[in-house]
Amino acid sequence: MMRRLRLDPRTFAALAHGGGGAAALAELRHAKLNEHLLLLRHLVHRFGRSPEFEALCVAQKAAPEVVSELLAHPWNGAWLANAVRDEAPERFTSRLGAVALVAAMRAGTPARVEVPASGGAVMLPDTGAVALRREHVTSVRASVAGERVSLDDVPLGTLDLQPLRRISVSHGGRTLHAVLDDLDPQRDCHRHPLAGRLTGAEVESWRALLHDAWRLLVRHAPDLAAEIGADALVLVPLHRAAIGREVSVTSTDVFGAFGLTMPAFAPALAANLVHELQHSKLNVMLRLRPAIRGDETRRYFAPWRNDPRPITGLLHGIYAFVGVATMWRRFHAANAVEAADYQFALLREQLRLAVVAARGCGLLTTDGRALVAALSEAVEEMLADPLPPAVVRRAGRNVRRDRLRWALRNRSTASVRWS
């Protein structure tokens, strides 16, 4: 069920340039699953075995691939990481029963488990929310016996299920599968207000926008589309009005899921998909091959941020925006999107400054130096692309302006480096 946590050197080399391909993504997902299993083993050792854990083990023995896929789900990463950080048994048991129940249902194995309830409903991971006939309960007894699944002796099929919204969009013979998750409590891991349950019309708006973004990527950046479509994505709608701006964000605890407000245009959503997957990739890479050593109190200028950033944050920005710059580079070459030349020119100039700062930070490990060197090569290749001189000048002026504003805003901040 568990393999040693490692990253093949050839995979690391491919990922270090900002890409990697579907095979590298699969290796990262296996590594993330192994991390989930290590966290689960630690928690069971800490708090003891339970009927819920035993039911999970029975299901795993009967259908290991099915249960591994369930355990690899992004929200299980958030749940297990929070349980380890809090060292609280109630945090661990808050989801274990539901995971065990879904595992037994999918594996076809018997189970009798305690499942937490909240607001008169039970959340079944990667499935949906089941409305109970009793509102004021904190848990229910659940059982699986053959094809019969019951919650408090009530057949599951007779209860109302709010399913997760699953979206599939296709173009050019390639399909992207996504889950639009507006139900699971564990999705609240992005430090931004969540959108509520989406209406049918809102779901269709997301579907249409995702289709247009996927079409752009498949047509003009098929290498990026291959990574994004390598497995189902989990998208968490965030509350645009409460946040006051468009955002997309990834939690360090999860892989293949992120929160975002609905962008206004398909190219922006395509950029979000690329950007956040890059963060997911680097999060796993840095766990397996640490890039930073020593004190991270010094802060740096990240051209895409107003605030001073630690070196890890700067490195994340470089990695994410190398992916986004690659997308705009492809769009510009195909003349696919208006102003793609400016977006590409702006990002490559921002990246040029950022990689200089990363190279000179003095905090990189051997793997960190290799990573930054590979990213620097990718940026140098971008800088060699011909662009209209007026566009290049405009991008340069705007980056210099932003750098000056950042320096004035943060001149009193201790331990800040401007280069």
Which residues, in sequence order, are CB contacts of 353 under 8 Å at separation 6+? Answer: 301, 303, 399, 403, 419
Residue 322 pLDDT > 60, yes or no? Answer: yes
Same domain, 170 and 156: no
- Copy the structure tokens of residue 396: 């340069």
pLDDT at 414: 47
Query: Tell me: the pLDDT tens digits for 140-155?
Result: 999 999 889 999 889 9
Based on the fold, state whether residues 400 and 351 are members of the same structural domain.
Answer: yes
Out of 129, 163, 197, pick the residue that ends a domain.
163
Residues 122 and 171 in one domain: no
Identify whether 42 is part of a domain.
no
Question: Among positive and negative, which fits the CA dihedral 63, 66, 71, 75?
Answer: negative
Last residue of a domain, one of 263, 287, 311: 287
Q: What angle do CA 34, 192, 244 make, to 5 degrees?
A: 145
Q: pLDDT tens digits, residue range 16-73?
A: 999 999 999 999 999 999 999 999 999 999 999 999 999 999 999 999 999 999 999 9
- Contact between 311 and 361 (Cβ < 8 Å): yes
- Asked if residues 387 and 341 have their Cβ atoms less than 8 Å apart, the reply is yes
In a domain, 278, yes or no: yes
Give the amino acid at 15.
Answer: L
pLDDT one-digit tens code per residue, 347-376: 999 999 999 999 999 999 999 999 999 999
Segments in 48-183 forming alpha helices (H): 51-62, 64-71, 74-86, 89-107
Q: Do both 256 and 344 map to the same domain?
A: no
**Is residue 321 predicted with pLDDT exceeding 80?**
yes
Judge if 207 and 306 occupy the same domain.
no
Q: Which two tokens stand for residue 123?
A: 């959340």
pLDDT of residue 166: 96
Does residue 25 belong to any structural domain of this protein?
A: no
Whether residue 93 sits in one domain with residue 198: no
Residues 257 and 361 in one domain: no
Q: From CA 354, how far away is CA 322, in angstroms rounded?
A: 11
Count structural domains, the chain: 3
- Residue 209 pLDDT > 70: yes
Mean pLDDT over 313-335 rounds to 97
Tell me what pLDDT residue 411 has.
73
Tell whether 296 and 416 lie within a shared domain.
Answer: yes
Asked if 194 and 237 touch (Cβ cutoff 8 Å), the reply is yes
What one-character DSSP code corresponds to residue 195? P
Considering the domain architecture, whether residues 172 and 274 belong to the same structural domain is answered as: yes
Q: Give the mean pLDDT of 87-112.
A: 94
Domain match, 309 and 281 both: no
Residues 332 and 221 in one domain: no
Same-domain status, 198 and 256? yes
| Residue 64 located in a structural domain | yes
Does residue 23 lie within any of the structural domains? no
Boundary of a domain, candidates 128, 163, 198: 163
In a domain, 251, yes or no: yes
Residue 294 pLDDT: 79
Note whether 178 and 170 are within 8 A (CB).
no
Instruction: Please give the pLDDT value at position 134.
Output: 81
Residue 349 falls within a domain, yes or no? yes
Of 34, 86, 83, 18, give the one whose Cα is nearest residue 288: 34
Are 138 and 106 contacting, i.e. CB atoms less than 8 angstroms apart? no
Q: For residues 375 and 307, which has the higher predicted lDDT (pLDDT)?
A: 375
| Amino acid identity at 212 | D
Range of the domain at 253: 164-287
Residues 335-350: tens digit of each pLDDT: 999 999 999 999 999 9
Average pLDDT over residues 126-131: 95
Mean of pLDDT over the chain: 93
pLDDT value at position 413?
57
Per cent of the chain over pLDDT 90 is 87
DSSP state of 261: P
DSSP H/E element including 125: none
Sequence length of the chain is 419
| 105 occurs within a structural domain | yes
- pLDDT of 1 above 50: no
Answer for the pair 180, 165: CB distance below 8 angstroms, yes or no.
yes
Mean pLDDT of 247-270: 96
pLDDT band at 6 (very low <50, low <70, confident <90, very high): confident
Short-list 200, 55, 54, 73, CA closest to 127: 73
